[in-house]
Amino acid sequence: QLATLVRAGIVVHNALDMVATQCRHKSLKKALFEVTQDVTRGTTLAKAMERHPAVFNDPYIRSIEAGQMGGRLDSVLTRLATFMETAMKRRRGVKAALRYPTIVMVVFTLAFFFLVRFVVPNFVSLFARFQGDLPMPTKVLLASHKAITEYAWLTLLVLGALAFAVWIFLQIPDGRRIWDRLKLEIPVMGQLQTKSAVSTFLQTFNTLNESGVPILSGLDVSARSIGNTSLAAELKKAREGVEKGES
């Protein structure tokens, strides 16, 4: 809508006001009115949008900035709209592809809990009569049953502590990079994530490049947009090579 109004020759702050008035999403509506007020006061559109990172991401703002400097704001807005529509379709495709394995894992977890909680107790006394050594899978089931029934609070405490430790680990840059690298090694799902990240990078970089953003800045912004710190580190190496004069 904003691209259409700007292309029709309507002044930016008036176009923003019209879009904000018609917007039904409360958070977006509030942000757009604030952007309109800032632009009316003389702030550039990119700077005004920069104050709302939850609504306008980095590639969007950098493209707007380049479009204003080059006098091509209408074409940049149109290109951004196309880019965002494509990105939304890609995200939906990835979610659809991950839906089946997610359902399988959830069902498996529920089935395992049901087995341990309600089925295994019927066989505990039977297994106790065996003189020989039980198979490892059976030992795991018995241990899981004991942990859930006799040491429920301790089990929850240990799992909670483990989850908290993992959360702390992911807050560390190196820890996050290791986790992102491991995600790429998962069979099938890892390949899907890699292809999705590369697709995001290429489409973002192409949009920034066509909008007039310099290559080095475009590489920086595109690398941050893919959502994987391990791949972003590799792209940073490529960026350093370009800065040194490589193609």
| 210, burial (CB in 10 Å: exposed 0-12, middle 13-18, buried 19+) | middle
Q: Do 90 and 196 meet the contact criterion of CB atoms below 8 Å apart? A: yes
pLDDT at 192 over 90: no
Contact 50, 56 (CB under 8 A): yes
The band of 131, judged by pLDDT with boundaries at 50, 70 and 90, is low
Give me the mean pLDDT over the 144-166 stretch: 84
**Does the pLDDT of residue 128 top 70, yes or no?**
no
Note the pLDDT of residue 36.
94
Dig out the tokens for 54 from the structure: 């939850």
Helices within 116-228 (DSSP H only): 121-128, 136-149, 152-171, 173-184, 189-211, 215-225
Can you state the angle between helices 173-184 and 152-171, rounded to 10 degrees? 100
Q: What is the mean pLDDT of residues 168-175?
A: 87
Between 42-51, 146-155, 183-192, the lowest mean confidence (pLDDT) is in 146-155
What pLDDT, on the 0 to 100 scale, is given for residue 130?
A: 65
Mean pLDDT for 37-53 is 92
SS3 state at 165: helix
Res. 135: pLDDT tops 80:
no
CB 144 within 8 A of CB 116: yes
Does residue 225 surpass a pLDDT of 70? yes
What pLDDT is stored for residue 62 in this prediction? 87
In the predicted structure, residue 196 carries a pLDDT above the cut 90: no
Residue 51: pLDDT over 90: yes
Q: How many CB atoms lie within 10 A of CB 90?
A: 15
